[in-house]
Amino acid sequence: MNLPAAAVRVSGLTKRYKRTEALRGLDFEIPAGQVTGFLGPNGSGKTTTFRSLLGLTRPNEGDIEILGMEVPRQLSQITKKVGAIIEEPGLIKAHTGRVNLRIAADTLGFGHDTIEEMIEFVGLSSDADRKVDEYSKGMRQRLALAAALLGQPELLLLDEPLDGLDPAGQHAFRARLRALADEGRTVVVSSHDLADIEALANYVVVIDHGRLITQGPLEDLLDGGMIRVVVDNVDAAIRVLSAAGMESRRDDGGLVVDAQDGVDIVRALAQAGIYPSEVRPERNSLESMFLGITGEEQA
């Protein structure tokens, strides 16, 4: 696949409903070939953004480029390369999973060649001939994923796909999404569940009140720029590090040092006869990062 560096580029996206402004000049980029978490609290504009990307709603202002093509001008070409699950997947409950996929393939014009492969990929081989009415929510989500994959899309847009799944279902779904990214596809997963995204994504876009709050590689966003050190004598270690010009503070049985590199810390402590049992980068959790930045925004 010959993809541009950014699979999705959005700038100045604005969508107004009668009394509310769902998107307010939203800008973001989604890198190709990775799993991107599209994060935001409920009502932040995630679904409106997805619907705008797919041409299901018309934004009032802004530019959207998907896989190097403009929305809505080249939508007919774009949607051949995009699979999507938006909100509750619209399956026909009276039909079996397999018949639902046939309907989807016929409607999308993809032929039936990939149906069996997709049924197997999403782990529904033994349930494909059961009515969707009898499916659990997780099975319906997996069937919707299979439908979204029928055209071998380069970009997958999945709106809250893990919502309501049990832990085993979430684990299985995540594994399948990771496998798709490993094949070079771009997967965008919206969620308000931070643990979902932390376990799945390489890249994160955070929005709130219809605006971009932050975006970047997950590792960079979670990097707290601090080093955690565990020593027996915390007070002595703080004095030694302070004398060496490094700020530190007591934290949860050890200390956290404001430094990028652990070597200087170990050297300073060792010269004072203090030998740490653990030195590692201090990572923020996605939750603390998210609450920090959305809290700042609200403040």
Partner 1 sequence: MSLVHAEYLKISRRKLFPVMLLILGFLMLLTAVLFFVVLPALPEFGGDSPVPERPGAFVFGAQQVAGQAWWFAVILATAVLGGELSGTAWATALTRDSSKLNHVGSRLLIYSTASWLAFLFGTALWAVVTWLAADGSGSPEMTEWLGLVWRFALIAVAWTSIGLGAVAITRSIGPAMGIALGFSFLDSILAPFIAPYENVSLTAASNGMFDVGGDGPFSVFIPGADLSLTHAIIITLGWALVGFGLTWWGLRRRDA
Measured CA to CA, the distance from residue 157 to residue 204 in angstroms comes to: 14
Nearer CB in complex with partner 1: 98/176: 98
> Which tokens is 56 given?
């299901």
CB of 149 to partner 1, least distance (A): 12
> Which tokens is 59 given?
């934004």
Site string for partner 1, 194-233 (x = CB under 8 A): ----------------------------------------
Which backbone phi and psi does 249 adopt, to 5 degrees?
A: -145, 155
Omega within 30 of 0 (cis) for the link into 72? yes
> Which tokens is 47 given?
């679904």
Q: Which of 235, 273, 270 is closest to 254 using CA atoms?
A: 235
Nearer CB in complex with partner 1: 148/286: 148
Question: Which CA distances in Å does 156 have to 148, 260, 263?
Answer: 7, 36, 42
CB of 47 to partner 1, least distance (A): 10
84 binds partner 1 (CB under 8 A): yes
Site string for partner 1, 38-77 (x = CB under 8 A): ----------------xxx---------------x--xx-
Nearer CB in complex with partner 1: 31/89: 89
> Which tokens is 14 given?
């604005």
Nearer CB in complex with partner 1: 150/222: 150
172 binds partner 1 (CB under 8 A): no
Measured CA to CA, the distance from residue 214 to residue 205 in angstroms comes to: 6
Contacts to partner 1 by CB under 8 A: 54-56, 72, 75-76, 79-80, 82-84, 86-92, 94-95, 99, 102-109, 111, 147-148
